[in-house]
Amino acid sequence: MLQIGILGLGEGRSTMSAALRSDRYQLKMMCDANEELCKQRSDEFNFPNYTTNYQQMLNDIEIDIIAIYTPDHLHAQHVKQALLHHKHVVCTKPLIDDLNDAKELLQLQEQTGKKVFVGQSSRFFEPAKRQRKDFEEGQIGELITIESNYNADHRWFLEKKWALEKSFKWLYGGLSHPVDFVRWYLPDIQEVMGYGMISANGKAAGLKNEDTMHFIFKAEDGRIASVSGSYTGPTQPAKRDSGMTCILRGTEGGSQADYHELRYSITDKTGEEKMITWGDDTLKYYFRFEGQSHHAGEYQNYLEYFADSIEQNFTAYPDMKEGIITIALLQAMDDSLKTGKPVKVEEILSRYNLQKLPATP
């Protein structure tokens, strides 16, 4: 049984739930700088073993895996410390927020031989799993293009002081999900062009960065994809629209996965049209907590997948290299918003001496 320690108990709440329900893991320790949050999680899950000192968790030689859910700017240091203490790592997206840290982390992982897995949880939602399975089985033929979006009424974020700081960007906090879907199917993105704006709601609140964005990607083989996001206005009813969607269009069919609605549709290569939804048991599996936040079932799925990768010795994707390329793509998108021009991902990687990182197989 794998021993796991969880760092950061906000988003880490879902991983606590997943670890405690798994027969593959034993939750050994949890950690957060906020002792009151530690006590809250301890009471919620009837789990007494917590610390506010990350070093104490690192020093526990019985812990095999550190799962990291701290603020983005702390990820690089926390991943580095875990590797130096010979732990496997699960780190929530984005893996890092500064590509200056990438080379050292790559070298450290190679030296230690430990696995680093980026928790892109939306890949592990039921509609996404079904869409990927059908794609890999050739149900829609050869992929032509992808359209992915994430539109959400997050006006409540505008009431948070940190959301109005210059450092907060919806590009990284929200749009990274549909960007990851595109990279899952078209890993070799060569160039990106995008436009963004701050909405009237965002301007009134004092938002510093774009809350409404549209991008076009071009892959090395010439295929194109689009990504869109808007975050500070009302959304349509869920029966008509989905907060997060991935559409694949192929030579013989097409499919659409609607994530939060647990809805999937496909026209397969035979011409048959199918619409699939999942019932109460699946809803309870994914949405264990209040509302539609902390989709713990996704975390359950990716923890089980990571356990398989350790026990069977295969690479769990997204791995560190894929996570770094995704950050380079997001930075290229950010540069395109600033310049109004297309930006090549290789130019970003070269800037940090990260040329020729291999795309995911």
In CATH, what number is assigned to the domain containing residue 146? 3.30.360.10
What's the rounded Cα separation, in Å, for the pair 246 and 264?
10
pLDDT for position 272: 97
- Final residue in a domain of this structure, among 58, 89, 114: 114
What's the rounded Cα separation, in Å, for the pair 277 and 182?
23
pLDDT for position 359: 60
In this structure, the answer to whether residues 217 and 323 fall within a common structural domain is yes
Query: Is pLDDT above 60 for 212?
Result: yes
In this structure, the answer to whether residues 223 and 329 fall within a common structural domain is yes
In a domain, 353, yes or no: no
In this structure, the answer to whether residues 254 and 174 fall within a common structural domain is yes
pLDDT in tens, 175-186: 999 999 999 999
Mean of pLDDT values over 141-162 = 93
In a domain, 133, yes or no: yes
Report the number of distinct structural domains present in the chain. 2
pLDDT in tens, 249-298: 999 999 999 988 899 999 999 999 999 999 999 989 999 887 655 689 99
Region class of 109: left (phi > 0), else alpha (psi between -120 and 50), else beta: alpha
Share of the chain above pLDDT 90, in %: 84
pLDDT for position 19: 97
In a domain, 140, yes or no: yes
Per the DSSP assignment, residues forming a β-bridge with 343 are: 192
Question: Could you tell me the CATH number of the domain that includes residue 22?
Answer: 3.40.50.720
In this structure, the answer to whether residues 88 and 34 fall within a common structural domain is yes
In a domain, 355, yes or no: no
Q: Is the dihedral of CA 287, 290, 293, 299 positive or negative?
A: negative
In this structure, the answer to whether residues 47 and 192 fall within a common structural domain is no
DSSP tag of 239? T
Kindly report the average pLDDT of the chain as a whole number: 94
In this structure, the answer to whether residues 146 and 237 fall within a common structural domain is yes
Query: Is pLDDT above 60 for 37?
Result: yes
Peptide bond before residue 358 is cis, with ω within 30 degrees of 0: no
Q: Which range of residues forms the domain containing residue 155? A: 123-291+315-348
- Final residue in a domain of this structure, among 89, 114, 139: 114
